[in-house]
């Protein structure tokens, strides 16, 4: 099916009569619950090459999705998991609704977050992608928008209106598509920041910013503020395949410095190896086939998974036969459609510094409005931009913002030194609220 989708996308992409493309599900409860990994886990040695080809074809299609010339709108109304995330997140526009439930639960079946999400997750705000990719945490409703997976949040009752307006689009301009989406999403916009993960973002950044899984565990165990949340998160991690957790974290550590093509090629190589593993067969069998939910992981905990074995097994001796033969030469390190989502915490912090925001003052309403106006020109969703800006600038101390900003993920920013130096000079009072 994935090759049929890709062929149709390419045909419409080259059609002069096509003004935009809408990707949606014909099922009312799900956009896509993911790829069929059951037949792969049941596969015989004779079917190995075909099984690897399944993943390679899927990853090639993901690249095509991320390099379309025509504006594409994915309407992710309902369950969106695994391969379904890959079938949406690479398009320039993604619409979530109050019915959306999005997750990457691959570590629970002995696999890893693939379909190009190593690129996406490693670039989310505040190490959020590490948390989501390792724990399989489920985002619901507007949280999908706040996390950065969708570019617009629209109530499902307005989807028919959206499709009608898109059908009347005059040109194939991505700006015209954006204007239509903005006009409909404004009907669901809110000045209230209702992100359920908002209280934990600083803790997520701190705990999941480590390069070693053991350090993430220790950070969660010693979390002083959100103890209950940390304990719950540890319980979730302990359900996952220990080997998959280490494979996934190593993949994320590398992906943040790789291009989209390099991420997809690396995922193909890992997939070609991991489908032979005990944990993949155990995970798929116990969770998806027999549904006994009692996989026998081997090794059985993270402390007995040898790091060198992970590297030698999954990140070495690559087979060029399993590289993706992409349909075009387009490649990128920075996501080209990031300006269609909400501004990142980095964008907010940098804008505050650029406008000489007074971090120690309690009377900053005028400055905040100025920052919102500046960011809204680029990111459009003015009410939602305002909600996020106000949350960050009113609820975090300058020291906390420094910690969010100085995480390793941000090292690609060419102006990094300027902002880093600012925090070295100003972020001395850890209790000072913004």
Active site residues: 35, 83, 106, 114
What residues contact residue 120 under an 8 Å CB cut-off, 6+ apart? 89, 90, 129, 149, 335
Give the span between the Cα atoms of 223 and 354, in whole angstroms.
Answer: 33
Q: Which of 221, 170, 230, 177 is nearest to 199 (CA)?
A: 230
Residue 86 near residue 117 (C-beta atoms within 8 A) = yes
Q: What is the DSSP letter of 80?
A: E
Residues 6 or more apart whose Cβ sits within 8 Å of residue 139: 100, 101, 102, 103, 132, 147, 149
DSSP SS3 for 74: strand
Q: Which two tokens stand for residue 381?
A: 């969703």
CB atoms within 10 A of CB 26: 5
- What's the distance, CA 186 to chain centroid? 24
Residues paired with residue 101 on neighbouring β-strands, in sequence order: 79, 140
User: Which bin fits 414, alpha (ψ -120 to 50), beta or left (φ > 0)?
Assistant: alpha
- Pairing relationship of beta strands 30-32 and 79-81 according to DSSP bridges: parallel
């Amino acid at each position: 099916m994935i090759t049929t989708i890709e062929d149709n996308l390419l045909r419409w992409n080259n059609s002069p009569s096509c003004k935009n493309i809408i990707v949606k599900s014909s099922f009312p409860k799900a956009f896509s619950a993911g790829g069929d990994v059951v037949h792969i886990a049941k596969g015989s040695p004779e079917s190995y090459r075909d099984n690897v080809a399944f993943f390679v074809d899927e990853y090639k299609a993901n690249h095509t999705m991320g390099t379309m010339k025509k504006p594409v709108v994915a309407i992710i109304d309902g369950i969106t998991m695994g391969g379904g995330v890959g079938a949406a997140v690479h398009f320039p526009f993604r619409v979530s609704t109050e019915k959306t439930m999005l997750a990457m639960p691959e570590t629970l079946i002995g696999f890893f977050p693939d379909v190009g999400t190593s690129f996406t997750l490693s670039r989310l705000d505040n190490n959020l992608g590490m948390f989501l990719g390792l724990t399989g945490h489920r985002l619901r409703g507007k949280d999908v928008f706040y996390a950065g997976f969708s570019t617009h949040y629209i109530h499902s009752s307005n989807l028919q209106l959206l499709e009608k307006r898109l059908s009347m689009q005059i040109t194939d301009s991505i700006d015209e598509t954006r204007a239509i989406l903005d006009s409909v999403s404004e009907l669901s916009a809110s000045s209230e920041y209702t992100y359920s993960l908002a209280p934990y973002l600083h803790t997520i950044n701190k705990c999941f910013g480590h390069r070693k899984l053991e350090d993430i565990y220790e950070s969660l165990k010693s979390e002083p503020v959100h103890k209950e949340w940390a304990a719950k998160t540890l319980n979730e991690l302990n359900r996952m395949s220990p080997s998959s957790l280490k494979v996934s974290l190593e993949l994320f550590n590398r992906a943040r410095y790789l291009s989209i093509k390099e991420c997809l090629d690396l995922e193909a190589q890992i997939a070609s190896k991991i489908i032979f593993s005990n944990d993949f067969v155990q995970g798929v069998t116990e969770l998806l086939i027999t549904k006994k939910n009692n996989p026998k992981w081997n090794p059985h905990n993270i402390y007995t998974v040898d790091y060198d074995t992970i590297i030698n097994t999954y990140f070495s001796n690559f087979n060029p036969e399993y590289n993706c033969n992409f349909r075009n030469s387009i490649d990128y390190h920075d996501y080209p459609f990031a300006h269609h989502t909400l501004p990142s915490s980095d964008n907010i912090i940098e804008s505050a510094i650029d406008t000489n925001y007074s971090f120690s003052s309690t009377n900053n309403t005028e400055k905040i409005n100025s920052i919102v106006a500046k960011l809204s020109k680029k990111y459009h969703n003015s009410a939602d931009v305002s909600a996020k800006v106000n949350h960050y600038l009113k609820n975090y101390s300058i020291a906390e913002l420094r910690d969010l900003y100085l995480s390793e993920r941000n090292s690609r920013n060419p102006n990094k030194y300027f902002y880093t130096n600012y925090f070295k000079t100003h972020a001395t009072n850890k209790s000072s609220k913004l």
